[in-house]
Chains A and B, each alone.
Chain A
Amino acid sequence: MKTRGLIPWLYIAPALLILSFYLVYPAIETLYNSFFKLSSLRAPGQFVGLENYVRIFLQQDTLIALRNNALWFLIVTAVAVGLGLLLAVLLDRVRYESFAKSLIFMPMAISFVGAGVIWKFVYAFRPEIYPQIGVLNAARVAWGSDPIAWLTQSPWINNLALMAVFIWIWTGYCLVILSAAYKGIDRDLLDAARTDGANEWQVFWHVILPTLRSTIVVVATTMTVFTLKVFDIVYVMTNGNFGTEVLANAMYKEMYLFQRYGFASAIAVVIFLAVLPFIVINIRRFLEQEAVR
């Protein structure tokens, strides 16, 4: 089927118009702005070369943000994907699978703001003379330990506490995708391995894991991209204080609090550069799929 002339363009014109205005053109302008000192949305800026980028590596909060985004990416992706995989295999063996799956998946429907409130309450901290109303500190006190200010103890406790919220939301996603792939594995293959004397651990390691490889990559890619852009949880729970800053929140602050639009643009470009490899991966996967069609 060959379509000539204008017809196809009429169908895609509205989409192209909106995509150009909301994504393509602003992205290019942001890249341009990142080389300028820009303190107003109305006035033109002053060219400063790479100064904004250099500043990211000199300023305390952006340095912390870089570190934290790296931690988010490593820890959250590993834990959420690992836990999702473990649950996919375990839940397959119990009769209440779909019920359990729904419950673990449910946080995906909750906003990060809502989840932030839910977990702030889990982490609630009060001085020892008062009864603890947060589950975690109540458990600690019952255990005979002192309560902890989970969201202010830097750098490990509070950052891990924030990451836990993200993991709570996204493990369900990993579980659902990985479970679908796991159910696609030929059961005879697993049974054959067991008959040959492989124990469950070996079956998991040598049969299940290699078969699920490509799905794991897809899920890990998605998780990575989301962790690099993480914003709401940090904004709502700590606003980046106490060493919990992340790039997206730093960018928002530069924009709204300090009106340093050039510097904010440079931070946005850094987030973009971090995501770029995954854009390439997605495109490559798309081209492979097309070749098969």
Chain B
Amino acid sequence: MSAYGRLRKCMGRIPLHVTVLLIVALWLIPTLGLLVTSFRPYPEILSSGWWNVLLHPAEWTKFTAQNYLEVLTKQGLDRSFVNSLIITIPSTLIPLSIAAFAAYAFAWMTFPGRQLLLILVIALIVIPLQMTFIPILRVYNWMGLSGSFLGLWLAHAGYGLPLMIYLLRNFLGALPKELFESAFIDGASYWTAFWRIALPLSVPALASIVIFQFLWVWNDLLVALIYVGGKQDVAPITWQLAQLVGSRGQDWHLLTAGAFISMILPVSVFFALQRHFVRGLLAGSIKG
């Protein structure tokens, strides 16, 4: 190719790069604004836009962690961060173990009504949670479960279960038949085959399901609003942040720091384990 031809090709690609970079910038600016603002002193935030800081590096010396300290110690975000962990971990592990057994049965056992039950599970994946709140709340109030961690764990387990069963069952069902058949011929029971074959082989699927559910529960607000029942000592960080938006709606130094604290864990998990997350998305893009 002549030098002229190369130059023309290069020039021809400029609109492509400009479009792509523009969209990427558009996607990044809101989060960047949050991050920068969360480190600025309150009076500074109100006197100039955060982008000025990027233009004047001298301003960086004014950065402070004060907002973080205040939102953690005075606005109760330290407690709610811990609560989010207490809620999220069992809410991920409980349904995971229940789903593994069910998915195994759906994939490798024949029993009457199997297909019908699977169809029910698929229908339940996208059922609006609104359909469940009032009856469950009624039972929760009666059993004293509202405003308790146990109530939140079980609710998240129930809501996460259908997608987990569906994804795992598809994964397990796609394993080679011979693997199980030869095990059964050798006299292995279903129980042994589950622990020795199914579970070890489905680690990649389990990983993406764990990430899914973890992000889902950590980021959830609606389920928390319903079952926390206004009890601050079990409320997760999303709940506390939403509260802060309601009560201190113009205090950007607190809101930005608080939002960043609520994001730090899921975003780190996301960047570290992005590959597994994407695999899960590709396998079962039907939850809603």
CA separation between A108 and B212, bound complex, in Å? 11
Cβ contact within 8 Å between A7 and B190: yes
- A205 CB-CB contact with B under 8 Å: no
Residues of B close to A182: CB separation below 8 A: none
Cβ contact within 8 Å between A176 and B124: no
Q: How far is the CB of B156 from chain A (nearest CB, A)?
A: 9
Q: How far is the CB of B95 from chain A (nearest CB, A)?
A: 8
Cβ proximity bits A96-129 to B, threshold 8 Å, 1 near / 0 not: 0000101111111111111011111110100000
Number of A positions contacting B (CB below 8 A): 101
Within A202-248, the residues touching B (CB, 8 Å) are 218-219, 221-222, 224-226, 228-229, 231-232, 235-236, 248
- Would A94 and B134 be within 8 Å (CB), given that A23-B127, A119-B30 are in contact? no
Residues of A close to B127: CB separation below 8 A: 23, 27, 272, 275, 279
Q: How far is the CB of A208 from chain B (nearest CB, A)?
A: 16
Cβ contact within 8 Å between B30 and A114: no
Point out the residue from A42, A100, A106 that lies within 8 Å of B20, measured CB to CB: A100
Residues of B close to A275: CB separation below 8 A: 126-128, 288
B40-48, B61-69, B202-210 - interface stretch: B40-48
Residues of B close to A224: CB separation below 8 A: 288
Cβ contact within 8 Å between A135 and B281: no
Cβ contact within 8 Å between A271 and B221: no
Cβ contact within 8 Å between A176 and B161: no
Residues of A close to B114: CB separation below 8 A: 8
CA separation between A204 and B225, bound complex, in Å? 45
Q: How far is the CB of B41 from chain A (nearest CB, A)?
A: 13
Q: How large is the interface on B (under 10, 10 to 19, 20 to 34, 35 or more residues)?
A: 35 or more
Residues of B close to A112: CB separation below 8 A: 219, 221
Residues of B close to A1: CB separation below 8 A: 108-110, 180-181, 184
Cβ contact within 8 Å between A120 and B245: yes
Point out the residue from A94, A117, A232, A271 that lies within 8 Å of B256, measured CB to CB: A117
Cβ contact within 8 Å between B245 and A267: no
Cβ contact within 8 Å between B130 and A12: no
Cβ contact within 8 Å between A121 and B255: yes
Residue of B nearest to A29 (CB): B135
CA separation between A228 and B129, bound complex, in Å? 12
CA separation between A268 and B222, bound complex, in Å? 14
CA separation between A283 and B115, bound complex, in Å? 11
Residues of A close to B99: CB separation below 8 A: 15
By secondary structure, the A interface counts as helix
- B85 CB-CB contact with A under 8 Å: no
Q: How far is the CB of B147 from chain A (nearest CB, A)?
A: 14
Cβ contact within 8 Å between B124 and A23: yes
Cβ contact within 8 Å between B154 and A30: no
Cβ contact within 8 Å between B262 and A22: no
Cβ contact within 8 Å between A2 and B23: no
Q: How far is the CB of A114 from chain B (nearest CB, A)?
A: 5
Point out the residue from A41, A106, A114, A116 that lies within 8 Å of B138, measured CB to CB: A41
Cβ contact within 8 Å between B286 and A114: no
Binding site for B on A (CB under 8 A): 1-3, 7-9, 11-12, 14-16, 18-19, 21-27, 29-31, 33, 41-42, 83, 87, 90-91, 93-94, 100, 102-114, 116-122, 124, 130-135, 138, 168, 171, 173, 176-177, 180, 218-219, 221-222, 224-226, 228-229, 231-232, 235-236, 248, 251-252, 255, 261, 264-265, 267-269, 271-272, 275, 278-279, 282-283, 286-287, 290, 293
Give 22 CB contacts A-B under 8 Å: A2-B110, A3-B190, A8-B105, A8-B114, A14-B101, A25-B135, A41-B141, A90-B16, A106-B267, A109-B270, A110-B267, A113-B259, A114-B219, A114-B241, A114-B263, A124-B252, A133-B50, A225-B126, A226-B288, A235-B242, A248-B128, A282-B122
Binding site for A on B (CB under 8 A): 13, 16-17, 19-20, 23-24, 27-31, 33-34, 37, 45-51, 95, 98-99, 101-102, 104-106, 108-111, 114-115, 117-138, 141, 154-155, 157-159, 161-162, 165, 173, 180-181, 184, 190, 215, 218-222, 225, 238, 241-242, 245, 249, 252, 255-256, 258-259, 262-263, 266-267, 269-271, 274, 278, 281-282, 285-288
- 3 interchain residue pairs of minimum CB distance: A22-B158, A225-B288, A111-B219
- Beyond the given A11-B105, A22-B157, please list 20 additional residue pairs across the A-B interface where CB-CB is below 8 A: A14-B101, A22-B158, A22-B161, A23-B124, A26-B136, A27-B132, A31-B131, A33-B135, A93-B16, A100-B24, A116-B245, A119-B30, A131-B49, A135-B30, A135-B51, A218-B285, A222-B286, A231-B221, A236-B242, A267-B130
